Amino acid sequence: MWQDIVLMIGNILLGYALIPQVIKGFKNKKPNIAFQTGGITFSALLAITIVYFSLNLIFSAVICSFNTLMWLTLFIQTIIYK
């Protein structure tokens, strides 16, 4: 299904953009995003991942779950490094 491939590529690019942000948070020991931003984005991506799985968009679901974990990490950084 071509839609799965397109969604997967978009999610790969978004996930790639998050990697430096997560690393910066660990290095600086400071939150780089607002508490609400991390919580809401993590929750929304979790819901989107579940929807992808329910639609059998496996590639998109797997990559979106990576993005969800990255946002969860950023969210946890806002809690720990506050």
pTM of the shown model: 0.90
Residue 13 falls inside a structural domain: no
Residue 80 falls inside a structural domain: yes
What is the average pLDDT score of the chain?
A: 94
Looking at the 3D structure of the chain, how many domains does it have? 1
Residue 51 falls inside a structural domain: yes
What share of residues in the chain are helix, strand, coil (percent, to 5)?
A: 85, 0, 15
Residue 28 falls inside a structural domain: no
What is the rounded average pLDDT of the residues 47-76? 96
Residue 7: predicted pLDDT: 93
pLDDT band at 32, cuts 50/70/90?
A: confident
How far is the C-alpha of 78 from the C-alpha of 34, rounded, in Å? 7
Tokens at residue 6, please?
A: 């397109």
- Look up the domain containing 39 and give its range: 1-8+34-82
Residue 17 falls inside a structural domain: no
